[in-house]
Structure 1
């Protein structure tokens, strides 16, 4: 069979527009693609260097995590109507509290339940973190609650909680699958290298590897930055010089991950925090300062993964010379 590769459609389109003719037919398109591949085939990456399965698993987990955040926001909104005082005394996402709300989804329902029924819901047989508030306390607060009685919203809350439990099971499944795939793909060393940067967690490091794949695909940090879509755009014409913005033409998933990693290192890594503070002192606003950190972080990571070495300040300093 034929091996397949996905190309950036923008590159194909730009190749088409290089022609002076405006005629467009399937035959002309096929010929143009063939001519383009003839000229760039040596630059195409090896398919084996693109861990598509690994990336698909990472993106599915990312999607589920975003769905969980959405469902949690919905639950909080419903509780502001059904039992607004509850989140002030307990963590509403404690498994025992969620199971209590599944059975008694409002202050009105808890108020009418017996203490024994509340205790039974709070102390399930399945393992979980115990609740640091008694059934009597919850019941007494429910009696004084300003909550509205809204049966339809109670039904919606129960379904939202069921959906949250399901999504959390899915998240755990894909997390285990991601860990297993990382081990099978012999990426454990690269994972440990990334995690040696204080502020980069296990999940974000795994996401980064899933999106980047083999670091040797990128001969320079400049190409890796462009792949993230964090490279600056320049528009000049005569005396006019436009404001520089990032291109956003790279991998949007990777761009989001690098952004989160950059915030993480600013919060937890002294070296990157000092660099961030330095750029802020130079007058950069928050987003531009984080973007500067992102560039420095990418150069540092490229150096570490290329040399297979753990993080040290020397890597961060040497990254300044990697702007090729």
Structure 2
């Protein structure tokens, strides 16, 4: 006999439908907590090797997944898009009460394989990487706020260094949020303050040049009055940018340490242009890449599979689906730009694809060309990981 539990998971509750040999026998609702899972256990216990299916709904389904893992139940965690496509053939209305029986019926019709459990490291990496992405979004907002408030208190300080990133710049902004603070120092004292503002070794000559430039910028600046609150705000945002930057570095270090024994990390960083940050973030987002049946499946997961539409004499331009992992898509996009930059010194097949597309008269738009390069990068990574091979740079350097 076939016993199927279809579970539709929402934020705080789950609807559950039980099918026995394709016939519904019971439907009930539980809370997603310890008491609710006890109720589920009582329903599961009488059945021998029940099939359990639920949609992968991000954080909402994690508590159910963890419970089933703890109790050693096998389950099928299905992609919501796949579930919708399969249920649309027999489900004409969508409600919470119909989704659970629909999932159970889909399992009865298609007999999905149980979800293969990956190394627990991947499960640990994912929340760390999502926390890292949150900090990325936060630091962009804080930098924007810092720029806006400095345009009132001391806009010229943004021209002090070649980059408005790094501890030296952020420390100097906190010490000199207004040109009035600079004018209190002579160049020798100011150069000592500059030296004390960076954890890196800095020569006296460079500190004096920075101090001299800071004095020049302070003289150029129009001194605003009655900006005490704005000065305090500038210091706050500079401190926040610095704090978030340090937290990001800490998270990357934690992910690198956690994933150091995963063979794909070394494989990824063997590709010129991909560093440890890109390697761990990408691995955290798509998990164990070996679980995909092809590189095209990874394209669909990331959301860069192409949509083709034509009707009659009309054919629409192809575009990517974008119904996938947006974070992985963003990481891959930046990885391509880094690979292209690194290819000036070390050629790669990815860069060759990019150059050919750019030279092609039919290829327009940088984003489309990058997407094409991402396809080739994914295909390359998938091949290397499956075969446990490092990237061979000699193949494109003329040495081979």
Q: Above 0.5 in TM-score?
A: yes
Question: C-alpha displacement at 1:13, in angstroms?
Answer: 2.8
Bigger mean CA offset, 145-154 vs 229-238: 145-154
State the match for 1:231 in structure 2: 305
2 CA distance for matches of 1:196 and 1:98?
Answer: 33
Residue-by-residue CA offset, 1:232-275 (whole Å, 9 max, x unaligned): 11223344332211111221111111111122222222233332
- Alpha carbons of structure 1 residues 250 and 25: separation in structure 2 relative to 1, 3 Å: closer
- Corresponding residue of 2:356: 278
Q: Where do 5+ consecutive residues of structure 1 fail to align?
A: 317-324
Q: Which residue does the alignment assign to 1:106? A: 178
In the alignment, structure 1 residue 13 sits paired with structure 2 residue 84: yes
Which residue matches 1:63?
134
Bigger relative contact order (CA 8 A; separation at least 6):
1
Secondary structure of 2:183's match?
A: helix
1:202 aligns with 2:285: no
CA distance in 1, matches of 2:253, 2:197: 25
2:218 aligned with 1:142: yes
- Closer/same/farther in 2, CA of residues 202 and 42 from structure 1, 3 Å limit: same
Counterparts of 1:1-324 in structure 2, within 5 Å, are 1-3=67-69, 6-19=77-90, 21-22=92-93, 26-40=96-110, 42-48=112-118, 51-90=122-161, 91-112=163-184, 118=190, 121-124=193-196, 127-130=199-202, 132-134=206-208, 135=211, 137-149=213-225, 150-183=227-260, 186-187=261-262, 189-269=263-343, 270-271=347-348, 272-283=350-361, 284-285=363-364, 286-312=366-392
Q: For the structure 1 residues 267 and 243, does the alpha-carbon distance in structure 2 shift closer, same or farther, using more than 3 Å as the test?
A: same
TM-score, normalization: structure 2?
Answer: 0.69
**Deviations, residues 91-140 of structure 1 (Å, cap 9, x unaligned):** 54443443333233111232245667745643438733538243455235
SS state of the match for residue 47, structure 1? coil
User: TM-score under structure 1 normalisation?
Assistant: 0.84
The secondary structure found in structure 2 opposite 1:191 is helix
- The Cα RMSD (Å) is 2.9
CA distance in structure 2 between the partners assigned to 1:315 and 1:210 by the alignment:
29
Q: 1:21 to 1:308 in 2, by over 3 A?
A: closer
Checking the alignment, whether the CA contact within 8 Å between 1:96 and 1:130 is kept in structure 2 is no
1:42 counterpart SS class? coil
Hey, what's the Cα distance between the residues in 2 that align with 1:27 and 1:87? Answer: 58
* Higher fraction of helix: 1
Deviation per residue, 1:12-61 (Å, 9 max, x gap) = 33333322643x55443221111223445533431335722211111211
Q: 1:246 to 1:314 in 2, by over 3 A?
A: farther
Aligned length, in residue pairs: 312
Cα pair distance change 1:34/1:192, threshold 3 Å: same
8 A contact 2:135–2:248 mirrored in 1: yes
Please, which runs of 5 or more residues in structure 2 have no aligned partner? 1-66, 70-74
Deviation at 1:155?
1.4
Structure 2 Cα separation of the partners of residues 126 and 15 of structure 1 = 59
Find the residue that maps to 1:43 and give its secondary structure.
Answer: coil
Deviates more, 1:89-98 or 1:275-284: 89-98
